[in-house]
Amino acid sequence: MIGGLSLWDETIARAKKNQGADRISEDELRFNETRLQNLLKVSYFVKPLEYKTSGSKNNQLQIPAVRFPGWHYCINPKCGRMKQEPLNAANAKIECSACWDGKSKHKSKMIPVRFVAACLSGHIQDVPFKEWVHNGPVPNDSKQHELSYQTGGGSGDLGSIFLKCSCGESRSLSGLMNVRKDGDDVFDSALARIGFKKDDDHKFDKDVPNDENPLGEYCRGHRPWLGLDGVNNSTKCNKHLQVLIRGASNVHFSEIESAIYLPEGSIGANQYVLEVIAEIGKEQLMGFFSIDQGTVTLPAVLSTNRVVSKGLISKDSLLKGVIEEITKDDSEQEELGLAPELKLRFEEYNYILAGRESENADFKAIVKSFEGYSNQDLLEKYFENVVLIEKLKETRVFKGFSRINPNNKLKKEELSNTQVNWLPAVQVYGEGIFLKFKDDVVDSWLSTNEDAFSGIIQRYQSAMRKRRPKDEPRELTPFFIAMHTFSHLLIKRLCFDCGYGSSSLRERLYFSSDPDSRMNGILIYTSSGDSEGSLGGLVRQGKEKNLGRLVQNALEEAKWCSADPVCSDIGNSSGQGPDNVNGSACHNCCIVPETSCEEFNVLLDRTTIVGTLANKDMGFFN
C-alpha cells in the first residue's frame, strides 16, 4: 500500500541525511499550477518519486510503501501456515519456516491473504482471523494458537476455505463477507456477529449503536497508509466492517482534481513573457516588483533568464510585458463570485474559445468555423464552432480517496498524520477537440423537453442525497445528460477513426446554466503522450474532411444498440445502471472506461440524442 504524505517527507529527509543535502534537490521534484493550488489550498505539488541510479541529484528515491494486508499464508498445500507481518516489513521476503526441513535450498513462499476489512469512513485493517476461528477472543492460555489456511475442493467459494488453529479449532470462511445495509450504511456484519452461537436469532437493528455485541469485531480506526503510527495511535471507529477482496475495485476510489494548463496572463500577451511568469511564479515576480517598483531588482532577475540569453526576446520587452501582466487588475473576474470548481472550468472555457496559436507554448488552440467542412449544415445547426487544441498540458492531483462507496470522500488531511502543504500530482501532455453547442438551440430544445427526463435526474439527486446528505443538490438539466451522452458516443466512434484506445481518450464537460457563467461545451482529449504531446491523430479528426463524418456516424450509431430493444425499453421505463440513473445506455452503446468518464458512467441516455421510435423530437439532434 502506498504510504501517506508524511512518509514521503520522511523519505526525502532520510535521503538528505544518508546521501547529503546537496545530493537531493526538492526543487526538481516540485512544480506549480496556480489555479489548482488556490482551489486545493496547497503551496505546491510534488511529482511521484522516481527511482534512478544515475545523475547528480535525487538518486535512489522510492515512493514509500507499507506491507498490507499483514496476514500471509504458505503456498505449500501441505502446510498453509499463516503469519502476520508488520507494516514496516514492506521490502522483506516472506518465507515459511514451519514446513522447511532444514535441508532444502529454498523455503516455501508466503503470499498475502485475499481479504481485508474496511468501513465507510475509509479505515482499513486486517481481517481478525483468530477471533473468527475461535468465535470470540483468543483464549488466554499457554497454547500458541497458530493458524493455517487450507483450501478444499468443491466450487471454490468461501465455504471451501478453512482456517485451522493449532489448538484444534477450525472454521470455514463461509459468510465472512455477509453484511446488511440501510442504503449505503452497514448496520449488521459477519464480524460483528462473532461470539454468537449458530442458533442465535439475534437481529441487529439499524437504530442501535454499533457496539451492542461486546464480543463482536468492529472498526478499530486503522489507517495503515500512515505507517505504524496510523495503527498504534488510532482511535476506535466502531463502525461495522465489510470484508472485501483486497484487489476489488471498491477497496480504493481515487479522487483526482485536474486542470488544463492556462498561461498566467492575458490572451494577447507574448508567449515568452507567459513562459517566464509560469517558470518563476506571479507572486514571486510581484514581490521583486514591490521592492523598488521594477527599477532594479526585477530587471536584474529577468536579465539572466534563458529566453533573454538565447535572444528569444529582448530584456526591455520582457520587463515591460512582465510588469503589464503582474500589475493587471483581475478584480472583474473575482467579482463574479463563482464557486472555486466552477471558476476553474469557466476560465478554461473562455480561454479555449479565445484560442491561442503559439508554437512554443504548452497550450495551442485554433478556433475554426465550419466554412468548408463536410456536412456543414449539420455542424452549423447545433454547434457554434470547433476548437482544435494541438497542444495541451493537464495537471492531475491526487487529493483524497474513499472506500466501498466513491462518494464517501476523505479530505486531504487524512493523507498525512502531520500537517502538509502539498499534494502529489503529475503533468501530462496531449491534444484535443472542443465543440461548443449553440446556446439558442439548447434553450429551444429545453423549452419542450424540460420535464421529459426528470426521472433520471430525480433518481440521481435522491441517490446522492442518501450518500452525502449535507451536500447541496447539484445543478442538472436534461441537456447535461444529452451533452454527456454525446461525448461518450464521440469517444467510442473516435476509437475507430484516430487509432487511440478508448481508455486513452478522456472527456471534460463544460456545463453551467447560470447566466453569469453559461457553458455548453465538451472537450475530448488525450493526455497519454510523452512530454512532447501526441501525434496529431485526434486533432486531425476535427478538421474539414473528418469532423462532419465523425458526428454523423456517432449519431447513426446512437439510433440502435445491439442490446435493443431491451436497452431502450429498460432505459425508458425503470432506468438502468447504478441507482438506475441511466436511461437507454449500456456497455454496448454508451459506456466507456471509467478513466475516460468524469461521471462514473452515469447520467447517460441515448433518447436525449436521437429520441425514441415513437417520438424522435425528444432527441437534441432530431
Could you tell me if 470 and 582 lie in one domain?
yes
The Cα 139–Cα 133 span in angstroms is 11
Could you tell me if 211 and 311 lie in one domain?
no
Could you tell me if 372 and 226 lie in one domain?
no
In the structure, what pLDDT confidence band is assigned to residue 3 with cuts at 50, 70 and 90?
Answer: very high
Cell of 493: 466512434
Q: Please report whether residue 301 resides in a domain.
A: yes
Decide which of 55 and 256 is more confident. Answer: 256
**What digits encode the pLDDT tens for the residues 277-321?**
877 877 788 888 888 888 889 989 898 888 888 888 898 898 988
Could you tell me if 281 and 338 lie in one domain?
no
Q: Please report whether residue 102 resides in a domain.
A: no
Give the model's pLDDT for residue 267.
63
Q: What is the mean pLDDT of residues 178-197?
A: 87
Closest among 141, 386, 132, 93 to 243, alpha carbons compared: 132
What region does 375 belong to: left with phi over 0, alpha with psi -120 to 50, or beta? left
| Count of helix runs (H) and strand runs (E) in the chain | 20, 20
Could you tell me if 187 and 284 lie in one domain?
no
% of residues, the chain, pLDDT over 70: 93
The residue out of 283, 306, 327 marking a domain boundary is: 327
- Identify whether the C-beta of residue 136 lies closer than 8 Å to the C-beta of residue 121: no
Could you tell me if 368 and 425 lie in one domain?
yes
Give the model's pLDDT for residue 332.
47
Could you tell me if 233 and 346 lie in one domain?
no
Give the model's pLDDT for residue 1.
94
On the question of pLDDT at 541 being above 90, the answer is: yes
> What DSSP string runs through 140-156?
-SS----EEEEE-SSS-
Q: Please report whether residue 56 resides in a domain.
A: no
Return the sign of the alpha-carbon dihedral for residues 596, 602, 603, 608. positive
Decide which of 30 and 185 is more confident. Answer: 30
Closest among 492, 479, 567 to 524, alpha carbons compared: 492
The Cα 130–Cα 119 span in angstroms is 20
Could you tell me if 365 and 512 lie in one domain?
yes
| Mean of pLDDT over the chain | 88
- Identify whether the C-beta of residue 582 lies closer than 8 Å to the C-beta of residue 599: no
Could you tell me if 124 and 209 lie in one domain?
yes
Q: Please report whether residue 36 resides in a domain.
A: no
Q: Please report whether residue 183 resides in a domain.
A: yes
- Identify whether the C-beta of residue 166 lies closer than 8 Å to the C-beta of residue 144: yes
On the question of pLDDT at 117 being above 80, the answer is: yes
The residue out of 327, 346, 367 marking a domain boundary is: 327
Could you tell me if 390 and 291 lie in one domain?
no
Give the model's pLDDT for residue 127.
97
The whole model's pTM is what?
0.85
Q: Please report whether residue 256 resides in a domain.
A: no
Q: What is the mean pLDDT of residues 351-365?
A: 82
Give the model's pLDDT for residue 540.
92
The Cα 303–Cα 325 span in angstroms is 17
Q: What is the mean pLDDT of residues 331-350?
A: 77
Q: How many other CB atoms are there within 10 angstroms of residue 139's CB atom?
A: 12
Domains held by the chain: number: 3
Question: Which range (83-92, 155-164, 203-212, 381-390) has the least confidence?
Answer: 203-212
Helical residues (DSSP H) of 265-384, grouped into ranges: 271-280, 282-292, 297-303, 306-309, 315-326, 331-334, 340-354, 376-382
The Cα 354–Cα 493 span in angstroms is 27
Q: Please report whether residue 47 resides in a domain.
A: no
The residue out of 186, 216, 245 marking a domain boundary is: 245
Could you tell me if 393 and 530 lie in one domain?
yes
Domain containing 416 equals: 333-618
Three-state DSSP state, 25: coil
Rounded to 5, what percent of the chain is helix, strand, coil? 35, 20, 45
On the question of pLDDT at 500 being above 90, the answer is: no
Give the model's pLDDT for residue 331.
47
Give the model's pLDDT for residue 534.
59
Cell of 64: 514509500
**What digits encode the pLDDT tens for the residues 62-114?**
999 999 999 999 999 899 999 999 999 888 899 999 898 888 888 999 999 99
Could you tell me if 198 and 122 lie in one domain?
yes
Q: Please report whether residue 64 resides in a domain.
A: no
CA angle 539, 355, 531 (to 5 degrees): 55
Exposed, middle or buried, 612 (CB in 10 Å: 0-12/13-18/19+)? middle
Give the model's pLDDT for residue 371.
94
